[in-house]
């Protein structure tokens, strides 16, 4: 099937017609018989790539499946997502990562690239079969114990050394566990006022500082998940200036929301790392613009109703993110399309080694792309989410931008703002 995007603006540049044919963006001008999409006023971006998605399958299919999460991703403009390893069973063997990979292919809505666990069962004691996962059909390149920190420095060093052989990367959930025991929210003025146990910024910053030094020492690649504090930005800035091979991500929610939200006691705002202060939010936005933070990653964390609609202390941390990420970024960064493409597609594709993704829509490129209506505004309605869960912190908010269509290898996964299947 051929598709002609009429009058589209690639990355906000001048209007043109874009032909999609045989899975690629075509330059041959043979538009006969093409399905025509009126793309006047729409922006074409390279398909978004998420480095941090929780799909919950296997194990918690009541909260999300590979298929429902893939659909939410496509609706958010994504063509590839990296699936976190904290499933049940944990993705710490070739068998489990191959299962997730196969489920992704079967759903066929985005490319699902499994992330492997660093340690067996995420227990932080023994290295998992990193080599077997790397050489499996899932070709794992990113390893992470996300949800948990690889807090043992010796184990972290060995993991960094091990993945060097196949240009892998360790994605660290930076949280010194001894400093966050019992923590419920960011440690600061608001936690004092509410009488909730605090998660201090230094618990994140101390691990990032340690890990950039370890990465420098062994010459390996480190990726820092969900950076949330101004202090972490300074540590990263210093490490990058020294030439350390470190990349970092920030979530949409850490770019928009602050710890003041906890005053509602609504567990939809409970997340790990926690929402921080407005000074942190300002520093994160600036770091994203500058490139001290390389990418926006969603940390899409669906949770079943009983795990969220309960007392704050018992609620699981995490919030939905795939369907709203681009709108939040538009809201906080503005319509700098080249920057958005860099932070949400090109860089994440490069970090994950997804060579078919992260290419601007131009003749010859694989047609993994998304079409955005920048003028649209929409009010977030949790019941309309394609996710199996409902824990969005943006319910009722009116946000800019709407994904009109998404194409995966030239075939639409979303048309007219609706999933094609």
- For the stretch 9-38, what's the b/e string if a residue is b when 16 or more beta carbons lie within 10 angstroms of its beta carbon? bbbbeeeeebbbbeebbbeeeeeeebeebe
**Cβ within 8 Å of residue 145, ≥6 positions away:** 85, 86, 117, 118, 119, 122, 124, 173
Q: Which stretch binds Zn ion (CB under 5 A): 73-81, 139-147, 237-245, 288-296?
A: 139-147
| Alpha-carbon distance values, 13 to 353, 370, 403 (Å) | 27, 15, 18
Contact (CB, 8 A) for 172 and 205:
no
CB of 98: closest distance to ligand DOR in angstroms? Answer: 21
CB of 129: closest distance to Zn ion in angstroms? Answer: 22
| Alpha-carbon distance values, 23 to 3, 17, 83 (Å) | 10, 16, 24
| Residue 301 site contact among Zn ion, ligand DOR, none (CB < 5 to 8 Å, cut-off depends on kind) | ligand DOR
User: For 413, phi and psi rounded to 5 degrees?
Assistant: -105, -25
The rounded distance, in Å, linking the Cα atoms of 66 and 420 is 16
Our CB check for ligand DOR shows the closer of 3 and 173 to be 173
Whether 299 is catalytic: yes
Q: Which residue number is nearest to Zn ion in terms of Cβ? A: 173
Q: Which residues bind ligand DOR (CB under 6 A)?
A: 54, 86, 146-147, 173, 271-272, 301, 316-318
| Residue 271 site contact among ligand DOR, Zn ion, none (CB < 5 to 8 Å, cut-off depends on kind) | ligand DOR
Q: Which residue number is nearest to ligand DOR in terms of Cβ? A: 318
Q: Which residue among 111, 294, 299, 307 is the active-site one?
A: 299
CB of 19: closest distance to ligand DOR in angstroms? Answer: 41
Our CB check for ligand DOR shows the closer of 225 and 288 to be 225
Residue of 64, 111, 146, 211 that binds Zn ion (CB under 5 A): 146
Query: DSSP string of 357-410?
Result: SS--S-TTSB--EEEEEEEEEEE--GGG-SSS----TTTT-EEEEEEEEEEETT
Pick out residues in 148-187 that bind Zn ion (CB under 5 A): 173
CB of 50: closest distance to ligand DOR in angstroms? Answer: 14
CB of 84: closest distance to ligand DOR in angstroms? Answer: 7
**Cβ within 8 Å of residue 205, ≥6 positions away:** 174, 229, 231, 232, 235
Q: How many residues sit close enough to Zn ion to count as binding (CB under 5 A)?
A: 3
| Residue 300 site contact among ligand DOR, Zn ion, none (CB < 5 to 8 Å, cut-off depends on kind) | none
CB of 253: closest distance to Zn ion in angstroms? Answer: 12
- 323 counts as binding Zn ion under rule CB under 5 A: no
The rounded distance, in Å, linking the Cα atoms of 354 and 358 is 8
Our CB check for ligand DOR shows the closer of 187 and 342 to be 187
Our CB check for Zn ion shows the closer of 100 and 301 to be 301
Our CB check for Zn ion shows the closer of 174 and 344 to be 174
Contact (CB, 8 A) for 172 and 248:
no
Give the residues lining the site for Zn ion (CB under 5 A): 146, 173, 225
As annotated, the active-site residues are 299
């Amino acid at each position: 099937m051929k598709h002609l995007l009429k009058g589209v603006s690639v990355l906000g540049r001048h209007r043109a017609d874009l032909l999609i044919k045989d899975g690629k963006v075509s330059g041959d001008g043979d538009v006969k018989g093409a399905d025509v999409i009126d793309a006047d006023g729409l922006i074409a971006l390279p398909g978004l790539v998420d480095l941090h998605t929780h799909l919950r399958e296997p194990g918690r299919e009541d909260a999300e499946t590979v298929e429902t999460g893939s659909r939410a991703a496509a609706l958010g403009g994504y063509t590839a997502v990296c699936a976190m390893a904290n499933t049940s069973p944990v993705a710490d063997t070739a068998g489990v990562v191959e299962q997730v990979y196969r489920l992704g292919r079967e759903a066929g809505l985005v490319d699902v690239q499994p992330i492997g666990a660093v340690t067996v069962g995420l227990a932080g004691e023994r290295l998992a079969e990193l080599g077997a996962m790397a050489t499996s059909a899932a070709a794992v390149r990113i390893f992470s114990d996300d949800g948990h920190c690889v807090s043992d420095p010796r184990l972290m060093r060995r993991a960094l050394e091990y993945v060097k052989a196949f240009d892998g990367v360790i994605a660290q959930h930076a949280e010194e566990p001894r400093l966050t025991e019992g923590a419920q929210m960011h440690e600061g003025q608001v936690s004092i006022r509410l009488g909730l146990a605090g998660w201090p910024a230094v618990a994140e910053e101390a691990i990032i500082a340690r890990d950039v030094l370890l990465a420098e020492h062994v010459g390996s690649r480190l990726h820092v998940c969900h950076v949330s504090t101004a202090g972490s930005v300074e540590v990263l800035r210093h490490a990058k200036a020294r030439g350390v091979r470190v990349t970092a991500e920030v979530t949409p929610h850490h770019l928009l929301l602050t710890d003041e939200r906890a005053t509602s006691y609504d567990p939809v705002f409970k997340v790990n790392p926690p929402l921080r202060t407005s000074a942190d939010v300002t520093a994160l936005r600036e770091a994203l613009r500058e490139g001290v933070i390389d990418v926006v990653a969603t940390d899409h964390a669906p949770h079943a109703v009983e795990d969220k609609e309960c007392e704050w202390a018992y609620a699981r941390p995490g919030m939905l993110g795939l369907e709203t990420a681009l709108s939040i970024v538009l809201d906080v960064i503005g319509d700098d399309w080249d920057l958005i493409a860099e932070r949400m597609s090109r860089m994440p594709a490069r970090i994950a080694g997804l060579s078919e993704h992260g290419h601007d829509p131009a003749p010859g490129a694989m047609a993994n792309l998304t079409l955005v209506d920048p003028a649209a505004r929409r009010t977030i309605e949790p019941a309309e989410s394609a996710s199996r869960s409902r824990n969005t912190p943006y319910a009722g908010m009116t946000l800019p931008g709407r994904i009109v269509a998404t194409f995966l290898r030239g075939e639409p996964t979303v048309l007219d703002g609706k999933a094609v299947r």
